[in-house]
Structure 1
Amino acid sequence: MSEIYNVYCDESCHLENDGQRAMVLGGVWCPAGKRQEISQRVREIKVKHGLGKDFEIKWTKVSQAKLSFYKEIIDYFFDDDDFHFRGLIVPDKTQLNHDVWGQMHDDWYYKMYFTMLKVIFDPKAKYRVYLDIKDTIGADKITKLHDILCHNSYDFSREVIERVQQIHSHESEQLQVADLLIGALSYLHRDLSTNAAKLKLIERIKQRSGYRLTCNTLMREAKFNLLIWNGGGK
């Protein structure tokens, strides 16, 4: 029987004209059978730090007052062998030239999602992909993303990528951890520096991952995998 994995995806600054240069797509993934255990452990850390178990972890909430909590969440992610991250960073969206490549921004967006996810997919396993519900990603986009992921993976019968669906981030601890890691990468690659607690959390991620977060990791890096995308304008 094939192993089933859940993949929880989020994004930062992905819109074409949002005034931000750097874009980040990313996702955390774990065996489906470990989902409940990971959720429970994250909730326990929330309660340990005086927060309700339903407190929503978000990069925008990182502050000095909650720094020890967020550091422990980062440490838990790196300590759990069943919890993994893959991120794709586009350093400068202003360099994109969609007209040259005969595509719309949405077409390129789907390509980037596949590029981000393809190193996760093992043809011998099965995957359920969950995306944070956002106004900018409707049901039609979810359907198209599923089609593109399956087509580019030669998974025409959808035996590998079983589903792609939206969920609310407040209902998923894994999606909240994805938001935290993606937010950190976005903050770093947008050269922001006004929040000391966020800078300290980024340093913790660098320390625990062993990476500077500004260069590619090896493609087969299993724990914290990064791609700095430079597609020559594609």
Structure 2
Amino acid sequence: MIPTRTRPYGCIPTKLCTANSQAINNLIQVTAHISWRSIAAMDVMDFYGDESCCHGGDHFLVIGGIAIPQIQVSSMEDRLRAVRATHPKHLANSEVKWSNTSRAVLNFYKEFSDVFFDAAKNGEAKFTSLCMDKRTFNHKTYNAGDPDIGFNKMVYQLLLHKVGKVWGKTHRITVKLDHRTSKDDPNELCPMLNHHLKRQGIDTSPFKRIEFKDSKKSELIQLNDLLIGTLGANHNKKTGAAHKQELADHIMKQAKNTCHPKSIYGWSATTFKVWPFEFRGR
């Protein structure tokens, strides 16, 4: 992180001799070089995000994602593919989605979700999310009648408060969102997020890229779909068939057992967090 300047570089007292002034200038240049080099050497945190219950008559919307150091991504994807390899191809080769949960894939989906919780226990990954009541979000009043604007606002809130403020001082951050139909480029959020963080003392411009990614080509976005799908179903009290309820119970039990203390709500939650978001514009 670049050291905070207590006064402008130009405010060097005039009584300093030329030699001392040159020494100070040299020190400034060396310090700046070291600071920028340290930023370049920062670890990269990848965040794989998506939303659940965005459409239809559900009251609660969940937006959440898995945060994982980029250096761990390949290893975790290998573990997910290894789980696929232990199940029949006609089941394991299809896209993993909460909405695709059936009795036939129940054990496969349980083992697939367990890869996250095993990684979380080892400090390799975390899940963070935002849950809000859509009835409190008036698109006509606050979003020019455009739900896409409302969705981007919620993504912005999650990335700012639960990703940028948490990892921005120590990591560069890249965000991969499940591809959705949108006229907006999600990367436009980067400068706004970095500007907001700078005003709060995080001046490393941590957000480097926000992009859409095809979920069919991402094991981690598919894994995240199970987690946010479970949360969405629980909050909307719509787990549905018995096999979906069994999967939801399994994931929620794992989530609570992984957190210390065993709560997924509030600031004390650790590896699996849910932020009950309340829209202030009501």
* Structure 2 counterpart of 1:25, one-letter code: I
Q: Which residue of 2 aligns with 1:165?
A: 211
Larger helix percent: 2
Give the Cα–Cα distance (whole angstroms) in 2 for the partners of residues 157 and 14 of structure 1.
33
The 3-state SS of whatever aligns with 1:28 is strand
The answer for the alignment partner of 2:81 in structure 1 is 43
Q: Give distance in 2, aligned partners of 1:99 and 1:66.
A: 41
The aligned counterpart of 2:276 is: 228
Shift of 1:153: 2.1
Q: Distance in 2 between matches of 1:128 and 1:145?
A: 12
Distance 1:132 1:19, change over 3 A: same
2:180 partner letter: K
% identical equivalent positions: 28
Residues 84 and 166 (structure 1 numbering): CA distance in 2 closer, same or farther, change over 3 Å?
same
| CA deviation profile, 1:121-172 (whole Å, cap 9, x unmatched) | 322211110011111x34x241333333223222898731110111100111
CA RMSD in angstroms comes to: 2.5
Q: Give the match for residue 217 of structure 1.
A: 265
Residue in structure 1 matched with residue 26 of structure 2 by the alignment: none
Give ranges in structure 2 of 5+ residues lacking alignment: 1-40, 258-262
Residue 72 of structure 1: how far off its partner (Å): 0.9
Counterpart-to-counterpart distance in 1, 2:61 and 2:269: 21
Distance 1:218 1:193 in 2: 24
What does residue 116 of structure 1 align with? 158
Taking the TM superposition and a 5 Å limit, the aligned residue runs for 1:29-40 are 29-40=67-78
Q: Find the aligned partners of 1:169 and 1:49 in 2 and give their Cα distance.
A: 20
Verify: 1:147 aligned to 2:191, yes or no: yes
SS at structure 2 position matched to 1:109: helix
Displacement of 1:19 in angstroms is: 3.2
Q: Would the alpha carbon gap of residues 106 and 204 (structure 1) be closer, same or farther in structure 2, given more than 3 Å must change? A: same
Contact 1:46 1:55 in 2 (8 A): no
Residue in structure 2 matched with residue 4 of structure 1 by the alignment: 44
Amino acid at match of 2:54: H
TM-score by length of 2: 0.71
> 1-side partners of 2:93 and 2:190: how far apart?
30
CA shift at 1:22, angstroms?
Answer: 1.2
The one of the two structures with greater contact order (alpha-carbon pairs below 8 A, sep at least 6) is 1
Where 1:119 maps in the other structure, the secondary structure is helix
Give CA-to-partner distance per residue, 1:42-98, whole Å, 9 cap, x none.
0110111123765321111111111111111122211113121111111x2123345
Structure 1 gap segments, 5+ residues each: none
Is the Cα–Cα contact under 8 Å of residues 132 and 166 in structure 1 kept in the other structure? yes
Partner of 1:130: 176
